[in-house]
Structure 1
Amino acid sequence: MLQASNKLMIHEFTYGKLADEIEKRQLGQIVEQCFIGSPSDTEPYLNRIGVDNFRVIRQAKEVVGGLGLLPMGQWYGGLCVPMTGIAAVGIAPEHRGSGAAIALMQNVVRELHESGMPLSVLYPATQRLYRKAGYEQGGSYCSWEIPTQSIQIIEQPLPAIPVALENFEWQKLYQQQAKSNNGNLERHQAIWQRLMQPDEKETIYAYLLGSLDQPQGYIIFRQRRGENESYLVVRDWVILTTAAAKSFWAFLAKHRSMVNKVQWRGSVVESLSLLLPEQTLDPKFVERWVLRIINVEKALAARGYPSGVESELHLEVQDDLLDANQGKFILSVANGRGEVTRGGKGEMKLDVRGLAPLYTNLFTPQQLQQMGYLQATESAIATATALFANSSPWMPDFF
C-alpha cells in the first residue's frame, strides 16, 4: 500500500510529506513565488490547511514543488461524496518542464486511491497538465455583478437581522442549501476560516434573513471602494425560501445610495436572477474546476440519483494510471441510490476523464458523445441521461 510518508521513486523524483522545518520553508518559498505572495501570507496558509496535509516532490533531496490536500466532501444528487481538494500546486520556476508537476500529480492520485477516496477536485492554472493525470472539467465557478440601482425590488418579507460572526452556526444553514446543488462543498474548516476572517482594512457584516430561531437564509459581505465606484461584495450567502430570495434582493437594494454595484458568486444558471425585473446582471468571470474520479466503484455508489428512476447502466472504463478503475462495471440504481458491480456489457465506453463531466452533469451524455468523450448505444445514452439529470454543477468556493 502506498504511504505518503514513504519516499517513492518516480524516475529521478521522490514524493512524500514534509520531512522537517527546512522543507516547510522551502515549500513556503515556492508557494510565495508561484502565487505572488509573501511570508506573512504563506505561513498562516500552511498552518490553516495543516502541515501534515502538504505533499512535496523532491529531486536530489531538494524540494522542487508541492501541493496541499483538503479532505472534505461534495454534494451530488442530494448525497455528500467524500472528496479531496487539491490546493496550491506549485513547482519552482527552475524545475518547470522537468516532469516534476506530472510526477507530483500522479503520486497524489495514487495515494488518494490507496486511501479509498472517491473523488478529487482542483482549480487548474492549465488544464493540459491535469488532464494528463485524469482530471477533466467538472463544474463552474462564476462571479456575478449587478448595478445596485437596477435591482428595484422593494418588498422585503423577512427582516435582516445583524449577527456577530462568532454567534451563529453558519455551517448548519449552509449545508441545507449545499445538498441541493451539485458540486457544492462540504467545506473544509480552512475554507470557513478564510470566509470569516476579514483582511486588515475591511469589516465583514453578517445578517440572518428571518428570525434568530428559524432563519431562512443569510448574507455575509464586505464593502470596498474602487477608483470610481463602490462595491458590496457578498462573501457567502444562503437562500432557502422564496421569502428569503426576495428579502436578499430587497436588502441589497437598500444600499443603492452609497453602493454602485453588488458582486456575488453563484451558478452559471443563476436562479436568483428570476426575481429581477430586468436581466441587468453581468458575469464578471466564469472558471471551470476539474474533477478526477479516483475510485470508479466508490464514486458511482456514493452519489445520489433521481428517486423515480430504476435502471442499469453498463460502463466500460479506461484509466491509464489506476488499474483498479479499468474494466466493465454495472451501475444499478433504485430508490435514489446506486450499487456498482464488476462485469456487464460495456454499452458505454469512456475513459476516466470522460466519466468526470458525466458524473457531475456538466455535460449531457449526448454532448460528450458528440465531442468524442464516450461511445455508447442509444439505450445506454438514454439511461445515462435519466440517471445523471440534475442541476448544473457549481461551487461558490475557490481553493
Structure 2
Amino acid sequence: MIHEFTYGKLTDETEKRQLGQILEQCFIGSPSDTESYINGIGVENIRVIRQAKEVVGGLGLLPMGQWYGGVCVPMTGIAAVGIAPEYRGSGAAIALMQNVVRELHSSGIPLSVLYPATQHLYRKAGYEQGGSHCGWEIPTQSIQVKEQPLPAIRVELDNFEWQKLYQQQAKLNNGNLERHQSIWQRLIDSDKEETVYAYLLGSLDRPQGYIIFRQRRGENKSYLVVKDWAILTTAAAKSFWAFLAKHRSQIDQVQWRSSVVESLSLLLPEQSLKPEFVQRWLLRIVSVEKALSARGYPSGIESELHLEVHDDLLEANRGKFILSVANGRGEVTRGGRGEMKLDVRGLAPLYTNLFTPQQLQQSGYLQATEIAIATATALFANSSPWMPDFF
C-alpha cells in the first residue's frame, strides 16, 4: 500500500531528530552541526514531508527580502532541502516543494529563492534561473593599487552594526538580500581553527565601507578569503584594493564573492582576476500581482505592460494582467490584451533582469509583440542580479 505524503511543521523532538539524521546524511555533516543549523534557522521555520507518519525529508524557510529597483521585496529563501535516500524518486521532493509554494502564496509572500542541487526538480515547482553567485580570485601580487585614500581600522566583529553599511550597498544591486539573522551569524562566527578579521574603511563616525575576512593555508598557497564586504564610495573602492595589496608578502591569493560583472575590477591595472566558480540561484514568482507591484522601476517612465501568465501550480497566477508603471512604482490589475505571453518560470528571469526580453523570446520562454518587448526592456532595465550569499 502506498501512503500519501503529508506536509507540515515539526511536531516534536522525535521528528526533529529524524530530520536531523536525514540532513546529516544529505549534506555530510555532524549531528552537532545539523542541530545547530536547525536551531539557527528556528524550529518554527522547518517544514517536513511525511509518509505513513514517518519524516522522509524536509527543508528550512528563511524569511528575508530581496532588492529590486531600489525596493526591498519580501522573499522567503529555501534552504537545506533534504530527502532520505530510500525515498528519493518517490515523489517526496516535488510534493515537499509544491506544498511550500502553496504555503508561501497563502501567506502573501511575493518571491522565493533557492540554490538548486538539480534544476529539474525545482523547475517542476515553478522556479527558474534568477541571478548569479560568483566567486573571484586574484594573485595578491597583481593587485598593484597603492593609493589608499581611507584608513583601514580594525574593529571587533560584535562591536559594530554591519547591517547598516551592508544595506546601503544592497539596495543598489538587484538580487542582494535583506539577510536572515542566521546568514549574518555565519558571516561573523569563527571556529577554533580560524580567526575572522574585520576592518572599517574610513573613520569610526563616518565609515565608507568594510571588509570581513579570514586567512587560510592551502597545499602550496596562502589565501585571504573575504567573507563579506561593502563599498560605498570611490575612496572606499581604492582603499579596498590597496589594503588587500598590502598582504602580498604573506598572502598568495585573494578570494571574494560578487557579481559576474565585477565593477571593482575597473580599478585594477590589468585583467588579472579570474572566476573561481559561477552558479545561478533560482527564483519563484509566488504571487504575480504582489511581486510586480512590490519592486521598483526606473523613474521617469510611464508605461503599461500587458501580460498573460500561465502557472501549473497556482491558479491565482493564471490569466491576463496589466502592469502600470509611473514614478518608479508599479500597479497591477487584472485584464488587458495579453501582449506578452509567458509561463511563471519565464517571468522569473525577466523580473530580475537576468536576461533581456529578446533573449527570453529567443529561448522560447515568452512570446510578445515588438511593442511589449520594448516596454518590458525599459521597465526591467537595471543592474545584473546577483548575491554574495549562499544558503
TM-score by length of 1: 0.97
Query: After superposition, where does 1:1-399 map in structure 2 within 5 Å?
Result: 12-399=4-391
Compute the displacement of 1:40 (Å).
Answer: 1.7
1:11–1:295: structure 2 CA closer, same or farther, 3 Å change rule?
A: farther
**2: CA distance between counterparts of 1:200 and 1:284?**
26
**2: CA distance between counterparts of 1:271 and 1:205?**
24
Aligned to 1:6: none
Q: Show CA shifts across 1:118-144 (max 9, x none).
A: 000000000000000000000000000
Kindly report the root-mean-square deviation, in angstroms, between the aligned alpha carbons of the 2 structures: 0.8
Aligned to 1:4: none
SS at match of 1:265: strand
The residue identity in structure 2 corresponding to 1:255 is: H
SS at match of 2:200: strand
* Number of aligned residues: 390
Compute the displacement of 1:376 (Å).
Answer: 0.1
Q: Show CA shifts across 1:66-98 (max 9, x none).
A: 000000000000000000000000000000000
Q: Show CA shifts across 1:252-309 (max 9, x none).
A: 0000000000000000000000000000000000010000000000000000000021
**2: CA distance between counterparts of 1:33 and 1:52?**
22
Compute the displacement of 1:11 (Å).
Answer: 6.9
The residue identity in structure 1 corresponding to 2:211 is: I
SS at match of 1:198: coil
**1: CA distance between counterparts of 2:158 and 2:234?**
27
The residue identity in structure 2 corresponding to 1:274 is: L
**1: CA distance between counterparts of 2:8 and 2:16?**
12
Q: Show CA shifts across 1:193-231 (max 9, x none).
A: 000101220000000000000100000000000011000
The residue identity in structure 1 corresponding to 2:9 is: K
Q: Show CA shifts across 1:37-56 (max 9, x none).
A: 01121111000000010000
**1: CA distance between counterparts of 2:67 and 2:183?**
16
**2: CA distance between counterparts of 1:395 and 1:131?**
20
SS at match of 1:154: coil
**1: CA distance between counterparts of 2:180 and 2:70?**
19
The residue identity in structure 2 corresponding to 1:347 is: E
**1: CA distance between counterparts of 2:309 and 2:62?**
27
**2: CA distance between counterparts of 1:150 and 1:389?**
34
SS at match of 1:379: helix
The residue identity in structure 2 corresponding to 1:322 is: L
Moved over 4 A (4+): none
The residue identity in structure 1 corresponding to 2:357 is: P
Q: Name structure 2 gaps, 5 residues minimum.
A: none
**1: CA distance between counterparts of 2:119 and 2:370?**
30
SS at match of 2:66: strand
SS at match of 2:256: strand
Maintained 8 Å contact 2:138/2:255? yes
**2: CA distance between counterparts of 1:289 and 1:324?**
25
**2: CA distance between counterparts of 1:33 and 1:197?**
24
**1: CA distance between counterparts of 2:3 and 2:307?**
34
Structure 1 stretch displaced more, 257-266 or 194-203: 194-203
**2: CA distance between counterparts of 1:308 and 1:246?**
33
Compute the displacement of 1:319 (Å).
Answer: 0.3
The residue identity in structure 1 corresponding to 2:47 is: R
The residue identity in structure 1 corresponding to 2:319 is: G
The residue identity in structure 2 corresponding to 1:86 is: I
TM-score by length of 2: 0.99
**1: CA distance between counterparts of 2:46 and 2:205?**
40
**2: CA distance between counterparts of 1:265 and 1:143?**
4
SS at match of 2:225: strand
The residue identity in structure 2 corresponding to 1:54 is: I
**2: CA distance between counterparts of 1:284 and 1:221?**
17
